[in-house]
Structure 1
């Protein structure tokens, strides 16, 4: 049963995406092609993943999604103000190292995506030891504030989801 669950959702997802992107009328042939092509892609790509993610706590995932959307919106507004020079905003760009305790590779990949979604933040370095992440921040008034922000808002929920 586990093997079914690991490839059926992705196959359905890819088939739906194909149907949405195809500029052809909905027909049986298009449906069959979408599902067969999706199934082949998913089954061939399974070897590329050493292990599958095992996310837990759906409510934490939904809460984290809302937090990321809100933070991305606020970051967009702040970046627009900085770029347009909205009444002479003074900003101080810089690098900050944030200690990490998250070890799951899927959680780290999502953390990297979250950080890079927001304009003004960039995942700039990650050593092999995985003890910290280095970020470039467009407006960095206090390094300790950013470290606490990333750990509390993103790392803790990701640990609950993946570890």
Structure 2
């Protein structure tokens, strides 16, 4: 069974997305979507050898809420910076150590940091377990590091490790 469904969660999500895009749950769409989902799951096993294991699924909802609120707040903050009479924001780079080592957790963290306006994940050093982040308007580097560690990294460690 593991050979046919190396990433079952991926296959289920792809099937659901297929049915939503087709706007039909007919037998033909279910069968075709199932075949596509299985083939995509098999192809993904060549790229992603380790299985995705979500240890605490309810924490995923908490992460979605926290990230959603942070993205809205950050949009407002960037807008205020752009419309302020102040001449220039103080852009800077932060090198931040991470405890998170799970590949999926790191990918989600990279997406969250980059999706939040005013910040971008630039580089991850696996040997030193550090990430380089660009911040559009840096006021306090320690506050940024603590925010990312407390709000995102800790939740991602609970979810994936």
Q: TM-score range by the shorter chain?
A: 0.7 to 0.9
Deviations 1:55-93 (A, max 9, x none): 21223222121111100110111112223x245486211
CA separation of 1:131/1:29 partners in 2, compared to 1, >3 Å: closer, same or farther? closer
Aligned equivalent of 1:58: 57
TM-aligned CA distance change 1:127 to 1:14, over 3 Å: same
CA contact (8 A) 1:103 1:130 kept: no
Cα distance in 2 for residues equivalent to 1:150 and 1:89:
28
Select the structure that is richer in helix.
1
Instruction: Report SS of the residue matched to 1:126.
Output: strand
- CA deviations on 1:105-146 (whole Å, 9 max, x unpaired) are 111111111101101100122223142211100110111111
**Alignment map for 1:10-159 (pairs within 5 Å):** 10-22=10-22, 27-83=26-82, 85-88=83-86, 91-159=89-157
The size of the alignment, in residue pairs, is 161
Matches of 1:26 and 1:110, distance apart in 2: 30
- Gaps of at least 5 residues in structure 2 are none
The whole-number CA distance in structure 2 between the counterparts of 1:127 and 1:144 is 20
Question: Post-superposition shift, 1:53?
Answer: 2.2
Q: Distance in 1 between matches of 2:36 and 2:139?
A: 50
C-alpha distance in 2 between matches for 1:4 and 1:33: 16
Residue aligned with 2:33, SS: helix
RMSD of equivalent CA atoms: 2.5
Normalised TM-score (structure 1):
0.84
Gaps of 5+ in 1: none
Distance 1:56 1:4, change over 3 A: farther
Give the drift of 1:45: 2.6
Q: Deviations over 1:8-30 (max 9, x none)?
A: 4432322232233348x764433
| Partners of 2:78 and 2:117 within 8 A in 1 | yes
